[in-house]
Chain A
């Protein structure tokens, strides 16, 4: 494999996709604000100041204050930490579990494959939010449980994806050669098949993160995710909801953040898919 050449071709292909680059830029800014939150946020996101509640945007409070007088901009900056962290952790968790199971099922086949694919089918058929709510009802609503639950309901996507690639790669000549040379099943799976099945997983992850962020926000909005006063974007929309007639800005800003980050990830994912896998059909 001509690694360097290949990589520069992929990078150039990606840079030609303007929306993908724009999405990536927005996400870099968002990542920066998440990492540097304590230095960037002008105020403590939890500090109440009832004397200055419902303020319109001013130089002191660039995006105004909420119903408790907390600085909205500071809360949004801290909120980016929660959303990005949850999105990434959920995808890493679901992606690794799904990849491992899909690899085993595809390579070993037999009853394991059969059983796993039935489970995957059932998970696909089920309305995931209904399932998530049922599990949250049992475990209790908080961000850590949301991560667990979203990871648990999302792995089937990765398992099915990896399995289909493994099935295609299993019969390839280079795999036969490796086997003839005496490579063990574990070695064939990990050294020969896995690296060649990872590109679609990376692309799928780029679309999985925004889905997890949206799910976290929806659960926060329903009161089943992050709990107040945590500055999570969905919970902020939920808290601002009763003031929709009085001060619509309270729900506007966190919603803009969610939409912007999710849209950027989707643009980035589109750009990465086209760059990494030019033959992939855009369905």
Chain B
């Protein structure tokens, strides 16, 4: 297992390199001098720009600059323009919120998608199947921020059931599930709705593929119960692609969390990135971008490991 995970991790190195290189290229390709990006506004002009450039290593070749920027990021020398704290510390505070939201939305999506896909696949081209398709199109067409504001209007403004913003009651700390749950209900629903259509479509076509396989006909001719065939034989094979799609949806959810966290004022990675972009806090923007890349890689790795446990062909082969 460890060897397998390590092998997969090595295979993902180009991806980590790619995302961090894009982040770095942003700084280099941006109009203007990186000095003006990396030095807090109040210090600009005060000191000799050439000396600063040298101090930041900006007179060195690009590959060296890339390495030193990554080192500064990892060692916490890269600091926010806003409160001058290491960017990694700021990201570290925001990360749990995004992770909890992402995990909750994934869980809700899978719980809803599999039954819907089953109904649609068992009766393809029926009214229910067409209904699922129509619902999917609706799901991907609603702007998530608008849907979120609609929920706030109903459940906060009208019914006063749920809080509209934040992650926990004022004065509380930490991530006590019973305290934060009410704050996460609406954001989770919004996130789940945005990826549910994709998940349903994949799960449906994967189930249809399996239903057409010969082993299903054999199982039926043996006289097995339809229920046994479905849950014992088909489910396992059909769910493998669902595991992959779950990992592929991580970047999608991270994109979504940018909007959803802003809608519900959740202090997560997405809100941090937006506020940093609005305030031109470049070190924070860089760090959130890089961390988002790392999360995507982690999602890929998680899918590979999930495959390892679900598919004996990989486990033993």
- Residues on the B chain within 8 Å of A221, using CB: 143, 145, 259, 262-263
- Residues on the A chain within 8 Å of B18, using CB: 118-119, 121-122, 125
Q: Does A138 contact B152, Cβ atoms closer than 8 Å?
A: no
Q: Does A244 contact B259, Cβ atoms closer than 8 Å?
A: no
Q: Does B259 contact A222, Cβ atoms closer than 8 Å?
A: yes
Cα–Cα distance between A128 and B286 once the two chains are bound (Å): 14
Question: B95-117 CB contact bits vs A (8 Å, 1 = yes)?
Answer: 00000000000000000000000
Question: A102-125 CB contact bits vs B (8 Å, 1 = yes)?
Answer: 000000000000000011011011
Q: Which of B22, B145, B285, B300 has the largest count of A CB atoms less than 10 A from its CB?
A: B145
Within 8 A of A (CB), among B105-157: 137-138, 140-146, 149-150, 152-153, 157
Q: Does B259 contact A125, Cβ atoms closer than 8 Å?
A: no
Within 8 A of B (CB), among A201-243: 210, 214, 217-218, 221-224, 234, 237, 241
Q: Does B142 contact A133, Cβ atoms closer than 8 Å?
A: no
- Residues on the B chain within 8 Å of A4, using CB: none
Cα–Cα distance between A140 and B30 once the two chains are bound (Å): 10
Q: Does A125 contact B143, Cβ atoms closer than 8 Å?
A: no
Q: Which listed residue (A119, A139, A241) contacts B30, Cβ 8 A?
A: A139
Main secondary structure of the interface of B (DSSP, over half): helix
A131 interface residue per 8 A CB criterion: yes
B157 vs chain A, min Cβ distance (A): 5
Q: Does B141 contact A134, Cβ atoms closer than 8 Å?
A: no
Question: B9-20 CB contact bits vs A (8 Å, 1 = yes)?
Answer: 000001100110
Q: Does A126 contact B285, Cβ atoms closer than 8 Å?
A: no
A59 interface residue per 8 A CB criterion: no
Question: Which B residue's beta carbon lies closest to that of A248?
Answer: B153
- Residues on the B chain within 8 Å of A129, using CB: 254-256, 258-259
Q: Which listed residue (B141, B278, B280) contacts A259, Cβ 8 A?
A: B141
B310 interface residue per 8 A CB criterion: no
Q: Does A138 contact B201, Cβ atoms closer than 8 Å?
A: no
- Residues on the A chain within 8 Å of B157, using CB: 244-245, 248
Q: Which of A137, A234, A267 has the largest count of B CB atoms less than 10 A from its CB?
A: A137
Question: Which B residue's beta carbon lies closest to that of A211?
Answer: B140
Q: Which listed residue (B27, B143, B250, B252) contacts A214, Cβ 8 A?
A: B143
- Residues on the B chain within 8 Å of A262, using CB: 140-141, 143
A127 interface residue per 8 A CB criterion: yes
Cα–Cα distance between A119 and B282 once the two chains are bound (Å): 24
Cα–Cα distance between A141 and B259 once the two chains are bound (Å): 16
Q: Does A134 contact B289, Cβ atoms closer than 8 Å?
A: yes
Cα–Cα distance between A134 and B277 once the two chains are bound (Å): 7
Q: Does A134 contact B286, Cβ atoms closer than 8 Å?
A: yes
The 8 A-B residue pairs with the shortest CB-CB distance, nearest first, are: A122-B18, A129-B255, A137-B277, A255-B146, A127-B254, A263-B141, A127-B251, A138-B30
